[in-house]
Amino acid sequence: MTDPVRIVYVIGTRPNFVKTAPVIAAMRERHPDGHHVIVHTGQHYDRAMSEIFFEELGVPTPDHMLEVGSGTHAVQTARTMERLEPVILAEQPDLLVVPGDVNSTLAAVLVASKLQLPIAHVESGLRSFDMTMPEEVNRIVADRFSKYLFMHSEEAAENLRAEGIPDERMHMVGNTMIDTLVALRDRIEAADSPGKLEVTPGGYALVTLHRPALVDGPLLGETVAGLAALSEAMPVVFPVHPRTRKMMEAAGGGAEAPNLLLSEPLGYVDFLSLVAGAGAVLTDSGGIQEETTYLGVPCFTLRANTERPVTIDLGTNELLGLDPSAIASIPERLAARPASPLEPPPLWDGRAAERIAEVLLPAYADPERAITAST
């Protein structure tokens, strides 16, 4: 009789809770006797950025809270590494599971690889080819050192091959962020966030902005002015990320316009209800490009590039460039869009986490249970 498997999941930011919740659930189901240890780095810590997601997504309370908080990239990464290493040494896991491309991801991968702990990377192979994006560095390191690379689109495999990563490490499983959307679809439909804000479904624009390239410099003021102008054509709903809020306050506050509705960050269900009802979404987020593609909602991405080209080729996404003046063209671009319905990309079907668990099962199942399961 072997010991039950021990798996550590490292999460720390809002999008990563969404990507990991279904993986933890699928792994717990297949390894009910295993030790599933959840480590929250604390990179995101406001209730609206963290706790509310654990509640809504049904993620168990973390076993370890590292409380690293905010800081420069080096400080945030180093603090996470320092606090994670003793946890890994104490827990002695067989595997570390980590999603995405944030600083918590980078830190976890560096700690685990130095301890020669196998790593499973969820959302592997995305590349913007823009090394000025902190996430691009984090993705490359995560993929280079992970044993199991779980991908959600074909271009991910091409990107990994181009970096010399062998096919044996790659697994096309689909999109775990879409798993969460599918699992909570009924609650999202019932939430009626547009009704609560008194905006008409299909008639408003929803905005999210948080990337340093856009919000940490002079482009933010131009962007907010562009949103105020857009709100004369259609109401604009803008839940503001804390980073963006801080920058707006430093620049002297936001633009005042009667139909520009600023709010605090929203919980998952309320936010997705707003996405599903939007006539258009304007964003610089990665995950929202995917969620709009799945839901068939027109998405305009205020960036020069995307690491998610599948959302342009097969989805609803259009790149506006890193150019706030392009916001003015949204009504015209919307009118020019074909109305034909789209199919979501292959394997964006709500079952990606199950596939991840199936890949990991032979390596980590209790041999006795694996025999029982196959007979």
Task: Decide: helix, strand or coil at residue 258.
Answer: coil
- Of the ranges 163-171, 192-200, 238-246, 297-305, which one interacts with ligand UD1 (CB under 6 A)? 238-246
Of 147, 243, 333, 369, the residue at the interface with ligand UD1 (CB under 6 A) is 243
For residues 103 and 153, which CB has a smaller minimum distance to ligand UD1 in the complex? Answer: 103
Q: Give the CA distances from residue 118 to residues 111, 168, 222, 244, in Å, rounded to whole numbers and listed in that order.
A: 11, 15, 46, 36
CA distance 359 to 35: 18
Please report how many Cα atoms fall inside a 13 Å half-sphere around the Cα of residue 194, on the Cβ side. 20
Of 57, 59, 123, 135, the residue at the interface with ligand UD1 (CB under 6 A) is 135
For residues 151 and 209, which CB has a smaller minimum distance to ligand UD1 in the complex? Answer: 209
CA distance 188 to 268: 9
- Of the ranges 9-17, 168-176, 230-238, 359-367, which one interacts with ligand UD1 (CB under 6 A)? 9-17
Q: CB of 213: closest distance to ligand UD1 in angstroms?
A: 11
CA distance 146 to 84: 17
For residues 44 and 171, which CB has a smaller minimum distance to ligand UD1 in the complex? Answer: 44
Q: Does 40 bind ligand UD1 (CB under 6 A)?
A: no
Which residues are 10's β-sheet partners? 39
Segment 192-211, which members bind ligand UD1 (CB under 6 A)?
A: 210
- Of the ranges 8-16, 289-297, 344-352, 361-369, which one interacts with ligand UD1 (CB under 6 A)? 8-16
- State the number of binding residues for ligand UD1 (CB under 6 A): 18
Q: Does 49 bind ligand UD1 (CB under 6 A)?
A: yes
For residues 208 and 293, which CB has a smaller minimum distance to ligand UD1 in the complex? Answer: 208
For residues 93 and 239, which CB has a smaller minimum distance to ligand UD1 in the complex? Answer: 239
Of 3, 46, 55, 189, the residue at the interface with ligand UD1 (CB under 6 A) is 46
- Of the ranges 12-20, 53-61, 294-302, 333-341, which one interacts with ligand UD1 (CB under 6 A)? 12-20
Catalytic residue list contains 210:
yes
| DSSP code at position 169 | G
- Of the ranges 37-45, 255-263, 269-277, 334-342, which one interacts with ligand UD1 (CB under 6 A)? 37-45
CA distance 73 to 265: 23
| DSSP code at position 164 | T
Q: CB of 354: closest distance to ligand UD1 in angstroms?
A: 26
For the window 69-108, what string marks contact with ligand UD1 as x by the rule CB under 6 A?
A: -x-------------------------------xx-----
CA distance 307 to 33: 37
314 touches 342 (CB < 8 A): yes
Which residues, 6 or more positions from 144, have their beta carbon under 8 angstroms from its beta carbon? 163, 165
Q: Does 176 bind ligand UD1 (CB under 6 A)?
A: no
Q: How far apart are the first and last CA of the chain?
A: 18
Q: CB of 153: closest distance to ligand UD1 in angstroms?
A: 18
**Exposed/middle/buried for residue 164 (C-beta within 10 Å: 0-12, 13-18, 19+):** exposed
Catalytic residue among 31, 171, 210, 241: 210
Of 44, 64, 127, 139, the residue at the interface with ligand UD1 (CB under 6 A) is 44
Q: Give the CA distances from residue 299 to residues 5, 193, 202, 280, 340, in Å, rounded to whole numbers and listed in that order.
A: 42, 19, 13, 6, 15
| 257: its two tokens | 């316009």
CA distance 56 to 329: 36
- What residues line the site for ligand UD1 (CB under 6 A)? 13-15, 43-46, 49, 70, 102-103, 134-135, 210, 241-243, 246
Q: Which residues are catalytic?
A: 210
